[in-house]
């Protein structure tokens, strides 16, 4: 499971678009997206900001 907290710290609800960018541009080792993949992102930030998205590449 890819994670960005070790590189960027706690980025709250910005985690989802930032993580997608890091994976798509190859900036996270051993993670890649292929056409047809289904991905699910979920994040919880301070103040109970909660996000989730399911996306087909």
DSSP string, 5-47: HHHH---GGGHHHHHHHHHHTT-STT----TT-EEEEEEEEGG
Question: Nearest-CA neighbor of 44 among 29, 1, 2, 5?
Answer: 5
Give the CA count within 13 Å in the CB-facing half-sphere of 11.
14
In the block, tokens 């993949």 appear at 37
pLDDT tens for 17-56 read 888 899 999 998 899 999 999 998 777 777 777 778 898 9
Rounded to two decimals, the pTM is 0.69
Residues 6 and 3: their CA atoms lie apart, in Å, by 7
């Amino acid at each position: 499971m890819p994670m960005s907290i070790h590189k960027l710290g706690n980025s709250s609800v910005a985690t989802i678009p930032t993580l997608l960018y890091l994976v798509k541009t190859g900036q996270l080792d051993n993670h890649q997206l292929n056409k047809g993949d289904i991905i699910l992102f979920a994040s919880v930030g301070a103040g109970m900001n909660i996000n989730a998205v399911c996306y087909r590449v």
